[in-house]
Amino acid sequence: MNAAEPLTPIEQDPVKRLLAVVRLLVMEVHPGSSAAQTVGLDSILDRELGLDSLSRVELFARLEREFDMDLPENLLSEAQTPGDFLGAILTRAGVARAQPTSPAVLPGQDAATGIPDTVHTLAEALAWQAGQHGQRIHIHLHAEAGVIEPISYQTLYREAQAVAVGLRRSGLKPGQTAALMLPTGRDFFCAFAGILLAGGVPVPIYPPTRLGQLEEHLLRQKGILNNAEAAALITVAEGKRVARLLKAQVPTIRHVTTAAEVAGDPDDFRAPRLAAQDTAFLQYTSGSTGNPKGVVLTHANLLANIRAMRTALDVTPQDVFVSWLPLYHDMGLIGAWLGALCCGYPLAIMSPLAFLTKPSRWLKAIHMHRGTISAAPNFAYELCAAQISGQDLEGLDLSSWRLALNGAEPVSPDTIERFAARFARAGFRREAMLPVYGLAESTVGVAFPPPGRGPVIDRVHREPFASGGSAVPAAEHDLDVLQFVCCGAALPGHQLRIADDTGRTLPERVEGHLQFKGPSATSGYHRNPDETARMKRGEWLDSGDLAYLANGEVYITGRTKDLIIRAGRNLYPYELEYAIGNLPDMRKGCVAVFGSRAPHTATERLVVVAETKQRHPAKREALRRQINALATEVIGSPPDEIVLAPPHSVLKTSSGKIRRTAMRERFERGTIGKEPAQSWRRLARLRLSGLTARSRRSLRSLAEGLYAFYAASVATVLCVMTWLIVLLLPSGGAGYRVAHLAARTLFRACALSPRVSGLAHLRAESPTILVSNHSSYLDGIVLCAVLPGWPRFTVKGEFERHWVMGPFLKKLGAHFVERFAVDKSVADAQRLTNRVEARESVVFFPEGTFRRPPGLLPFRLGAFSAAVRSQAAILPIAIQGTRAVLPDGNWLPRHGRISVTICPPIAPEGDDFHAALALRGAARAAILRHLDEPDIVEPTETALTAPQRQE
């Protein structure tokens, strides 16, 4: 086809009809996926749209009905894109001239707004920008001494490639985590992007500021890094000594290095295969050592959120973003930097310390770069209004600033008015102020107001709101009112609701729990199923905030928990309480941390009340400094008030919990009636604990190595013996019985015997199709060990020709299926249907493949099509634990727990394509309920078309 001439309106009609059919089918086959939004004539049916062989047969039939024509049968095996179908349709319709396989701009793609929608990962986004706009300045980095360092897309890409090469050579594998303990600077950008390009998962954490804060900082980071299972740590050269102490506390860390030390030759870079549903990075919202909360954000989450924010704010490459926000926080990392990367506008950035020490630097940078977008928490606007002098206002021009996003902590109406009035003479327009709402669990953005409208303040009567949560509008002359700031409506493609404690949706202007859903929503917290379960409310996620809706827009009113939001970071009180309680001279468990609204500014103050027996004035002052430094380390800013109280001042419940609300009331009424250890002692203590940890780790590694050698030896002997015996036996059930016994012996000898539940659901008298999740090479052996009778496994066709596996699997009665040729796949599906009708029980791994990172991949339709054709029940099986015992890429097993849950059978309700889809959805949901793994919904190349590893 020739792309020289555009389609005429008459000729475009088939294009629209064709794409509508394809889009609808993708939505049905992969509900919840964003693939349907990117359907174009050049979209690859299997790799990009996730349409397997049977789905393509359905597409073929639908297109014949839509265009009322018989299409050539060879299209089933030869068509790779919708454009291939279009050519055949136009030919059959008698259109003489050739048509292009793709419009100049694909549907859903806007060439003027940064990366196209065909880009599915952050690594692809950086590569695309480097290829298309390599010499364009991406970042204006405000370094020390007023130096501004330009970084182009090409420069960042090359330096990131160098880091990626070094990380891969040092042993970082795709899917493994690597931590960054770096300040705002060139190294952070290159290291973060380099981890992505290496296929790793970045974990940004903030670096220590002073040696005196070392112990508490390491305790905090220890919890995060152990939860993340970080394999590497990249830090500044000055921090390597500190980081090595941290390495001793975190067994998984193999390398502590700097960005410069790890860099290799960028010409050696080879891009790994990444998919939209792969984890892009972990954003930790709570760093307590006991229960870190790392939000899992996929590439799909990030790009969906950035694109939705781009649409809501009408962003173009002509915008300029100016930021001082820390890069270890979602608002600075995603909202500022990654948004700039994907939308194509330049980013001017300085360190948070540069802003905090002199707030005018932020506004002067907006003036210098003619910034159009900037974002900050409420306290930053309050700080500017209060501290920037009239002299600093001289010559300041803020007229270019069209989007002043105010979020990440409660927005004060008074702050809005003070800031707007204070900087009106500098050209700032009140209409530019945009109070917004977001949280890391929805990537970053959740709700935005329309640009240019200006802030909307809702005044409601105090009494009905305080007593019943009813936001009754107050008249202008009413005095006893509460004021709440409108944060806008949900981002495009996302939804918000207000629910009561039972999960019932509340009407507008009634306060309740703010819940959300959409393509930006996380699948959960990394390795923290308890917190993940607490957040989920069916298909909704609970934000932990209280709010109400009015005219479809959200007004935040408070927090469900005693959560304190300070300087753009979420802080759970027990996090800082725990850290302060571990200081010398403090009474552990007798510290209360809470927020108290300042009477004049309405900005929330951070208050620390800590019990101590220390009475010496100098030592008490030193203790205050220690708490100040520790709070700065933990939450990014010092407390506003520190009260050193005598013993028994902190109020507790009968069960020993801190009564924070009561403490707040006592503080506001004014009725609240360590010497730090020397640095060498801290270092000695850390080194001693590190030595102990290393010793324990060495012993554990030795035990694991001995076990792996033993288990591998047993497996090798049993496999060889079983292979020989099965080949000598006649075809039939005898071979499976031998394999069944050998598998049970293997697991028993290795102390890995699976815990099985639901065996009663297996019924020998009726044909059954068994479908199981697939996470390890062990899965087939596990099912062979636990399934009685003689089930037949479906195996990829390539194994039939393998000289070792082929004869063995044939003796076991395995069914070989073709994966790539559509016509053969359809024939195989019919053959399997016939075997089920002949009362065979057939085992499928409908994911078709597995990978190292956890997550249930999309299911292929073959098993479910056979079920509806034969009207056989589906028996879902959930296997848990094999991914940990024998992960992808590892041939030495680890000891662990394996469980197999056989779910109740699910009968098909119908015999058509939609019945197969429904059956697949029900089976997949049943398996997910018994897995502690996220749901991977995107039809990606890795998930759907990577080589199968069925045993």
Q: Could you say which DSSP state residue 753 is in?
A: P
Q: Could you say which DSSP state residue 929 is in?
A: T
Per-residue pLDDT of 136-153, as tens digits, reads: 999 999 987 778 999 999
CA gap 127, 402 in Å, rounded: 30
Q: Could you say which DSSP state residue 442 is in?
A: G
Distances, alpha carbon 838 to alpha carbons 769, 818, 831, 872, 904, in Å? 12, 21, 11, 11, 22
What dihedral do alpha carbons 9, 12, 17, 23 form, nearest 10°?
-130
Q: Does residue 950 have a pLDDT over 50?
A: no
| Tokens read off for 793 | 């496994």
| Interior/surface letters 540-554, b for 16+ CB within 10 angstroms, e for the rest | bbbbbbbbbbbeebb
CA gap 567, 382 in Å, rounded: 11
| Tokens read off for 857 | 């991949």
CA gap 870, 360 in Å, rounded: 73
CB 822 within 8 A of CB 77: yes
CA gap 432, 319 in Å, rounded: 14
Pairing of strands 148-152, 137-142: antiparallel
Pairing of strands 137-142, 347-349: parallel
Q: What is the pLDDT of residue 683?
A: 59
CA gap 26, 19 in Å, rounded: 10
542 beta partners: 515
Q: What is the pLDDT of residue 602?
A: 56
| Tokens read off for 738 | 């031998």
Task: Report which of residues 827 and 791 the model is more confident about.
Answer: 791
pLDDT-derived band at 16, boundaries 50, 70, 90: confident
Which three-class secondary structure string do you get for 867-919? HHHHCCEEEEEEEECHHHHCCCCCCCCCCCCCEEEECCCECCCCCCHHHHHHH
CA gap 41, 84 in Å, rounded: 8
Q: What are the backbone angles phi and psi of residue 277, rounded to the nearest 5°?
A: -90, 5
Task: Report which of residues 803 and 867 the model is more confident about.
Answer: 867
| Tokens read off for 30 | 């992969």
Q: What is the pLDDT of residue 947?
A: 35
Task: Please report the DSSP string for 698-718 in residue order.
Answer: HHHHHHHHHHHHHHHHHHHHH
Q: What is the pLDDT of residue 337?
A: 97
CB 767 within 8 A of CB 841: yes
Q: What percent of the chain has pLDDT over 90?
A: 42
Q: What percent of the chain has pLDDT over 70?
A: 85
pLDDT-derived band at 320, boundaries 50, 70, 90: very high
Per-residue pLDDT of 839-870, as tens digits, reads: 788 899 988 888 777 788 889 888 898 888 88
Distances, alpha carbon 474 to alpha carbons 453, 461, 464, 477, 547, in Å? 21, 5, 11, 8, 18
Pairing of strands 255-257, 815-817: unpaired
Q: What is the pLDDT of residue 431?
A: 96
CA gap 286, 302 in Å, rounded: 20
Pairing of strands 512-517, 540-550: antiparallel
Q: What is the pLDDT of residue 11?
A: 47
| Tokens read off for 739 | 């394999």
Q: What are the backbone angles phi and psi of residue 173, rounded to the nearest 5°?
A: -100, 155
H or E element at residue 607: strand 604-612
Q: Does residue 690 have a pLDDT over 80?
A: no
CA gap 698, 903 in Å, rounded: 41
Lowest-pLDDT range, 3-7, 231-235, 377-381?
3-7
pLDDT-derived band at 34, boundaries 50, 70, 90: low
| Tokens read off for 614 | 């220390």
Q: Does residue 107 have a pLDDT over 70?
A: no
Q: What is the pLDDT of residue 26?
A: 86
Mean pLDDT of 567-583: 65
pLDDT-derived band at 98, boundaries 50, 70, 90: very low
Per-residue pLDDT of 332-359, as tens digits, reads: 999 999 999 999 999 999 999 899 889 9
Amino acid code (one letter) for 521: A
Average pLDDT value for the chain: 83
Mean pLDDT of 392-418: 91
| Tokens read off for 387 | 């501290």
Q: What is the pLDDT of residue 790?
A: 86
Q: What is the pLDDT of residue 900?
A: 94
Lowest-pLDDT range, 14-28, 368-382, 400-414?
14-28
Mean pLDDT of 168-182: 93
Q: Does residue 706 have a pLDDT over 70?
A: yes
**Sign of dihedral through CA atoms 535, 540, 543, 545?**
negative
| Tokens read off for 861 | 């339709």
Q: What is the pLDDT of residue 599?
A: 67
CA gap 163, 937 in Å, rounded: 31
Q: Which value, in Å, is the radius of gyration of the alpha carbons in the chain? A: 30
HSE, side-chain direction, 13 A CA sphere, residue 341: 27
CB 770 within 8 A of CB 863: no
Q: What is the pLDDT of residue 303?
A: 95
Q: What is the pLDDT of residue 674?
A: 37
CA gap 4, 26 in Å, rounded: 30
Lowest-pLDDT range, 24-33, 448-457, 580-589, 813-822?
813-822
Task: Report which of residues 830 and 757 the model is more confident about.
Answer: 757
Against a cut of 0.75, is the pTM above it? no
Task: Report which of residues 206 and 538 the model is more confident about.
Answer: 538
Q: Does residue 558 have a pLDDT over 90?
A: no
Q: Quick check: helix, strand or coil at residue 593?
A: strand
Lowest-pLDDT range, 445-449, 545-549, 761-765?
761-765
Q: What is the pLDDT of residue 213?
A: 54
CA gap 375, 264 in Å, rounded: 36
pLDDT-derived band at 568, boundaries 50, 70, 90: very low
CA gap 244, 253 in Å, rounded: 10
